[in-house]
Amino acid sequence: MQNLPVIVIEGVLVFGGVLAFAWWQLRELKQLERERERKKAEAAGSKSESEDPKA
């Protein structure tokens, strides 16, 4: 029973580290998705302008 606080602290640190890493990765995925959508929209916009110069 004397080791219980150390075990609890270690568990919290490990679990917290996993949660922080998961949050970081999900945040980065969201940023990459926004960037990909922005580039896709820019490419579609420039493509439509270059295909129809009369409009």
User: Residue-wise pLDDT tens for the chain (55 aa)?
Assistant: 899 999 999 999 999 999 999 999 999 999 999 999 999 999 888 876 666 556 5
| DSSP letter string, 1-55 | -TTHHHHHHHHHHHHHHHHHHHHHHHHHHHHHHHHHHHHHHHHHHHHHHHH-TT-
Q: What is the pLDDT of residue 46?
A: 83
- Paired tokens of 54: 């009369």
Task: Provide the residue type at 33 as one letter.
Answer: E
Q: How far apart are CA 39 and CA 42, in angstroms?
A: 5
Instruction: Estimate to the nearest angstrom the gap between the alpha carbon of 45 and the chain centroid.
Output: 25
Q: What is the pLDDT of residue 1?
A: 81
